[in-house]
Amino acid sequence: MEAHKVLGCGFLEAIYQESLALELTERGIPYLREVEMPVSYKGQPLNTTYRADFICYDTVVVELKAISKLAAPKRLKSSTTSKPPDHPSACS
């Protein structure tokens, strides 16, 4: 949230990802970036892998999404916000 708070809206996901990496490093949070993980379907390994944006503490998967606007149902599902949706400086 700090990266978004400082940068604001409108950047590509790669900008927020690099900023979050700096933030995690500054806070001493161990992480790996762009980690490829195998995926299987009904016991069969798939050729396509899943690439996690970050894995923190070797267990927490963090995925970033840069979008121009959250639809109302997604706002309700979002568990962390830095400002209420109707705040003047919140992204619209």
Asked if pLDDT for residue 1 goes beyond 90, the answer is no
Cα 11 to Cα 66: distance, rounded to the nearest angstrom = 7
Which neighbouring-strand residues pair with 43? none
% of the chain beyond a pLDDT of 70: 73
- Name residues whose C-beta falls within 8 Å of residue 48's C-beta, 6 or more positions apart in sequence: 39
- What tokens does 33 get? 């970036």
pLDDT for 18: 94
pLDDT for 91: 52
pLDDT for 66: 75
**Contact by Cβ (8 Å): 70, 59:** no
